[in-house]
Structure 1
Amino acid sequence: MNNFFDSFWRAVAYCLHPRVVLWSLLPLLLAAGGVALLGYAYWESAVDGVRRAMEQWALITAALDWLDSIGANRLRAVLAPMVVVGLSVPVVVVLTLLLVAVLLTPAVVHTVAVRRFPLLEKRQGASWWQSLAWSAGCTLAALAALVLSVPLWFVPPLVLVLPPLIWGWLTCRVFAFDVLAAHATPAERRFILRHRRWPLLAMGLACGVFGALPTLVWAGGAAALMLAPVLVLVSVWLYTLVFSFAACWFAHYALAELQVLRSAQAHAHAAVEPLPSAEGAAPLPLPAPEPPSA
């Protein structure tokens, strides 16, 4: 548990490290640029498509007509854009997480290893394509869970609980693997992921809660839609900040656990080291004769 909180505060400090700050700009620029280009190219067509799809549903049409009858006709104009934003947020989260995992995490791990664990040997337990495949598989599983959980979002408490849980699980699976890819063997990685799964999951859930906070920028409803271009960039920046912190936290925690594991293995190996046989042992030196007394 000491490592849990120690890694947390170290991660907070490392987020201000110049190298980490500079490396975090790359996923930020790529994610923000990609979101801006997609929004510029497909925003209007996406809103029109959602509006046409909603008009084909009799239940939604009846609900909108009822809202018009009570004077809430402004909701009809903003409902389709709000749906597009709601569907876009998971895509932005996944895009930012993958960019941070691929571009920033190796630099964070290198910085942490050089500054804090200079003697920790790199055993190259996983290559970059294995990390990418692992991240892609976990991302698909998280998106599937997110889609399947959508009906439960209509239960008021669950909409605030399920998405952070899913993002937390995804953060745990992706970063715990990536930070150990260069230093741990597959056996060491599996041991740490299995025996430290609850602290790692708690770290992921904490980051999932932090990652859900940027969605609050859209709480303004129609007013937020007027500032959508700016709020999208702010959201991407906040997501990048959260996942950069997650990379630092997981790197400090996992590498510290790896060092403890190897130290324990070294002590256990030394404890069972066989003693040299009598035939191969050098003869003990005879004590020097005492001088005769006067």
Structure 2
Amino acid sequence: MSTPPNALPVVTRSAGFEGVGRALGRAVISQFRGPMLMALLLPFAVALIGAIVLIWLFWTPLSEWLQITLFQWSVVNQLDTTLMALGLASLKLWLIPVAATLILLPLSGILGLVTAAVFIMPLVLRHLSERDYPDVRREGGNALVASVWNALWVTVVFVLGWFFTLPLWLLPPLAVVLPIFWWAFAFTRMLRLDALADHASPQERKILQARHNKGFWALGTICALINLLPPAWFLLPVLSALMFSHFGLEALRRLRSETQP
């Protein structure tokens, strides 16, 4: 049986990290265009207001709960005794504020990312469609519903994963690896779908996500590493949306060029 000329190609191999550097460069250029500079304000404002509200509502009860919970563990009490014997500050002076910050601050950050995914991504895609990818047709459907549902489940997994792996931060390597992993997960799984939902059909999304899985995760990891730098928090929600959009739309353009006679 012959293959129809407009049939989508079968995914036979991964594209690896092809296109990651190109998407990053294009995103930086796009970030300094007027509409994208204005788009920075919304996710930053949501994250800032979210941080203030979370601290106001939950700092005291969370600190009290951590005080009771953490110091029930014999290992924590032994470590506290050892530090005091060495003339160092007691864990009770700094462990609770640090733990409370590590719980509440990521919550405000994920709110900013959700805002970027649900509200800023459509603006980004509209801007890039008109300016950089006018030849890429919109063949997606129910993009808003898919985006909201995707944002909800990714947020739940991120919050639960972050919270339940916090005790592992006591192991030095994991204190660095785990935050990078969870933020890479959040950026990749939240923005990968949003970058393709408007323009790619379900079949195209399936092919692109399989073919470019490593590329999407590379972008998510880059975003997670940038996220370690507090001054970058203002830029990152929109910049990450631009990175994933450039990567996804260029990949979709190339995929469709393979099916053209």
Aligned to 1:218: none
Whole-angstrom CA distance in 2 between matches of 1:80 and 1:142: 22
**Aligned-residue identity in percent:** 25
Aligned to 2:3: none
Aligned to 1:252: 246
Aligned to 1:109: 125
Aligned length, in residue pairs: 245
Whole-angstrom CA distance in 2 between matches of 1:73 and 1:154: 17
Aligned to 1:166: 182
Query: Are the counterparts in 2 of residues 207 and 243 from structure 1 also a CA contact under 8 Å?
Result: no
Asked if 1:97 is matched to 2:113, the reply is: yes
Asked if 1:262 is matched to 2:256, the reply is: yes
Gaps of 5+ in 1: 215-233, 268-294
Asked if 1:181 is matched to 2:197, the reply is: yes
Aligned to 2:154: 138
State the one-letter code of the partner of 2:251: E
Deviations 1:109-140 (A, max 9, x none): 11111101113221233331211111222233
Deviations 1:185-223 (A, max 9, x none): 111111111111111111111111112333xxxxxxxxx
Whole-angstrom CA distance in 2 between matches of 1:12 and 1:65: 50
Gaps of 5+ in 2: 1-16
Instruction: Point out the structure with max Rg over C-alpha.
Output: 1
Whole-angstrom CA distance in 2 between matches of 1:143 and 1:44: 20
TM-score, normalised via structure 1 length = 0.75
Whole-angstrom CA distance in 2 between matches of 1:146 and 1:38: 16
Whole-angstrom CA distance in 2 between matches of 1:37 and 1:93: 13
Deviation at 1:75, TM superposition (A): 4.3
Whole-angstrom CA distance in 2 between matches of 1:73 and 1:141: 35
Query: Are the counterparts in 2 of residues 192 and 258 from structure 1 also a CA contact under 8 Å?
Result: yes
Higher relative contact order (CA 8 A, sep 6+): 2
Whole-angstrom CA distance in 1 between matches of 2:60 and 2:153: 31
State the one-letter code of the partner of 1:260: R
Aligned to 2:237: 243
Asked if 1:18 is matched to 2:34, the reply is: yes
Query: Which secondary structure does the structure 2 equivalent of 1:161 belong to?
Result: helix
Aligned to 1:49: 65
Query: Are the counterparts in 2 of residues 100 and 240 from structure 1 also a CA contact under 8 Å?
Result: no
Asked if 1:213 is matched to 2:229, the reply is: yes
Aligned to 1:126: 142
TM-score, normalised via structure 2 length = 0.84
Deviation at 1:47, TM superposition (A): 2.3
Deviations 1:8-63 (A, max 9, x none): 11101111121111112011112211211222333233323322334444443343
